[in-house]
Structure 1
Amino acid sequence: MNIVQRIEWRLYKERKKRKLKNLTPTIIASNCNGEFIYYDMNLKFRSPTINLSFEMNDYVKMLENLEWYMKQAILPYEDERFEYPTGMLGDIEIRFNHYETLEEGIEKWEERKKRIDWNNLFIMGIDGDDCTYESLKRFDALPFKNKVIFTHKQYPEIKSAYYIPGFEDQDGIGVLLYFKKQFLVRRYLDDFDYVSFLNGK
């Protein structure tokens, strides 16, 4: 970004912050999308799902019994597919993408888990990370009031689906934190009005 773009981007985020009324949300996300909303809005991390990710079918399984899973200990588990640490939460694999060690990831998970506000939950998923259509339907059936799953094509039958253009030629949605090629500096994630979402609208 050049200087003008950096200034425009900063002002854009400042305008969004001024509109945010809910300053203590717990965003349970399947990847870094939730984390960057916390960063954008300069909010305290009130969710354990920071700097990590899940395979989407595992993630949906966790959401279907979230309180139970939040009471389970994370155990060591080496997944040779990844260079970063991984662990098991019951039968759910957690990928600690942005941690040097499993111990560090677990420490932060436990610390932030204590901050969950069960009355102020916001659930976010994607139709990537090997998400099946069955998991899309299961996500849609979850009993959470505030939930959204970002999709690479339109699913009118999935009420919680939010279609973000630009990934139609892929098997699922891509990285929403990448910037789009356009005049205004915006990420794919910014297609979604997450301020209104967090404000309960």
Structure 2
Amino acid sequence: MFSLIKKALNIFLRRGINAQNQRNLQNHSMSVLASNCNGAFILHDLQSRFNSPFVNLYLTPQDFIRYLQQFDYYRTHPLRFAEQASNYPIGYLDDLTVHFMHYHSAQEAEEKWQSRSARIDPDNLFIIMTDRDGCTYQDLLAFDQLPFKHKVVFTHKPYPEIASAFYIQGFEDQDCVGDLFEFSGWSGKKYYDQFDYVGWFNQGPH
């Protein structure tokens, strides 16, 4: 009962937070490339269009960084699928593995990947990664060196020497951040609300 009351209160309060963020958002055409679901949850909260294929899927930090290091090559490379050996489709961009864990079929995954890849705006890119899924310190350094103006990696502890790292409080006893789209208390706020993503997006084209 206690958890149900907390969830109901958070859902109610979240509506106001989302509405305020939607009013404050000025950049409505950004392309968000995220290594996991956080980007999609943020865009859903903002009621913004998915202008990239990085929705309902994940890549390991290593593959995500390699995608970004050869951005022009991978974003136009054809996607192929192996025979489904897991509960969800797994696609391959050359040597990169894409886990489409919230898709029912390879056909659905490929259709969404192609249509959303066509929407990517290279001049309005925002890159999001987290320090989970096997992320190493060397991966954080490699991410920080990527030649993109707007990039952030959410970490479970401070890394003052890494300019793109943003410390999310609440996961200090773990070895990485948890699910940042979960509510962090009783206020309707989620863990990723510690980062001003609306102000960040508004730094791009209007």
Provide the TM-score with structure 1 as the length reference: 0.94
Matching of residues 180-191 of structure 1 within 5 Å: 180=184, 182-191=185-194
In structure 1, the residue matched to 2:15 is: 10
Give the 5 Å matches for 1:68-79.
68-77=73-82
Q: How does 1:25-174 map to 2 (within 5 A)?
A: 25-77=30-82, 80=85, 82-174=86-178
Question: Structure 1 vs Structure 2: percent identity of aligned residues?
Answer: 42
Unaligned runs of 5+ in 1: none
Counting matched residue pairs gives 198
The one-letter code sitting in structure 1 at the alignment partner of 2:89 is P
Contact 1:152 1:166 (C-alpha < 8 Å) held by counterparts: yes
| AA at the equivalent of 2:191 | Y
What is the alpha-carbon root mean square deviation over aligned residues? 1.4
> After superposition, what is the alpha-carbon deviation per residue over 1:141-200, rounded to whole angstroms, capped at 9, x for unaligned?
0010000000011101110000001112222111111111x2312111111111011011
Highest RCO, 1 vs 2 (Cα 8 Å, sep ≥ 6): 2
Cα separation, partners in 2 of 1:103 and 1:16, compared to 1, 3 Å: same
SS at match of 2:153: strand
Q: Deviations over 1:69-106 (max 9, x none)?
A: 011111113585x4211111111100001000111101
Question: Unaligned stretches of 5+ in structure 2?
Answer: 1-6
Q: Which runs of 4+ in 1 moved over 6 A?
A: none
Matched residue of 1:51: which SS? coil
Quick check: 1:78–1:87 contact (8 Å CA) kept in 2? no
Corresponding residue for 1:198?
A: 201
Over 3 Å counting, the alpha-carbon distance change for 1:126 and 1:78 in structure 2 is: farther
Distance 1:177 1:5, change over 3 A: closer
Give the direction of change, closer, same or farther, for the CA distance of 1:169–1:50 in structure 2 (3 Å limit).
same
CA contact (8 A) 1:28 1:47 kept: yes
The residue type paired with residue 139 of structure 1 is F
Query: In the TM superposition, what is the alpha-carbon distance from 1:125 to its structure 2 partner?
Result: 0.3
The TM-score normalised by the length of structure 2 is: 0.92
| Superposition deviation, residue 7 in structure 1 | 3.2
Could you tell me how far 1:132 is from its partner in structure 2? 1.2
CA distance in 2, matches of 1:88, 1:6: 37
CA 20–70 in structure 1, closer or farther in 2 if over 3 Å, else same: same
